[in-house]
């Protein structure tokens, strides 16, 4: 059971840490811009919070993994390893994509400061391209968990 729970913990913690770092990166850029141009708050808000989605993906997979763990009457090593492995895609994709999404959002925020009409194009759309890989990690984790059955 410990191995399976470790996988759930990694999914939540790694994706959550990545989201915290990504939001921190974007938030630092936004506070710099807002100190000079507070009217841009609405344009910058989405770019600051966007890296936080990966933390939610990791949480959902961890929650599903725990439900899967406790649904077994006896959890054998093969199922424990399968649950552990199912959590790894969202853990790593979530952590790394959130950090890089934060950097992409920070660049978009700086672009928005100089050219507000580019907020969606340079900020949100480029960041959404990074989000795709977090979603892929989430989907792979979800699909693997859906195939795990009691032996």
DSSP string, 103-148: HHHHHHHHHHHH-GGGIIIIIIIHHHHHHHHHHHHHHHHHHHHHH-
Q: CA-to-CA distance for 53 and 56, rounded, in angstroms?
A: 5
18, with CB counted inside 10 A (0-12, 13-18, 19+), is: buried
Residue of 31, 19, 40 lying closest to 127 (CA atoms): 19
The pLDDT score that the predictor gives to residue 43 is: 85
Assigned CATH for 2-147: 1.20.120.610
Work out the pLDDT band at 117, boundaries 50, 70, 90: confident
Which pLDDT belongs to residue 10?
98
The whole-number pLDDT of residue 134 equals 96
CA distance 66 to 14: 16
Name the band, by pLDDT with cuts 50, 70 and 90, for residue 113: confident
Q: Where are the domains of the chain?
A: 2-147
Q: Mean per-residue pLDDT for 72-91?
A: 93
Burial of 121-151, coded b for 16+ CB within 10 Å and e otherwise, reads ebbbebbeebbebbbebbebbbebbeebeee
**73 pLDDT above the threshold of 90:** no
pTM: 0.90
pLDDT in the model for residue 112: 87
What does the pLDDT average to over 17-28?
97
Rounded to an integer, the average pLDDT of 86-114 is: 95
Residue 150 has pLDDT above 90, yes or no: no
Chain segment 34-61, per-residue pLDDT in tens = 999 999 898 899 999 999 999 999 999 9
d(CA 64, CA 50): 23
CA dist 140 and 117 (Å) reads 36
pLDDT for 74 equals 85
């Amino acid at each position: 059971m410990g191995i399976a729970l470790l996988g759930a913990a990694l999914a939540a913690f790694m994706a959550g840490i990545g989201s915290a770092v990504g939001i921190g990166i974007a938030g630092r850029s936004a506070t710099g811009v807002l100190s000079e141009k507070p009217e841009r708050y609405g344009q910058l808000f989405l770019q600051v919070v966007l890296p936080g989605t990966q933390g939610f993906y990791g949480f959902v997979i961890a929650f599903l993994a725990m439900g899967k763990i406790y649904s077994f009457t006896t959890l054998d090593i093969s199922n424990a390893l399968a649950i552990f492995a199912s959590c790894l895609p969202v853990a790593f994709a979530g952590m790394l994509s959130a950090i890089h999404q934060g950097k992409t959002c920070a660049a978009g925020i700086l672009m928005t400061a100089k050219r507000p009409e580019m907020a969606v194009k340079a900020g949100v759309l480029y960041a959404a391209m990074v989000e795709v890989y977090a979603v892929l990690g989430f989907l792979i984790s979800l699909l693997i968990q859906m195939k795990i059955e009691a032996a």
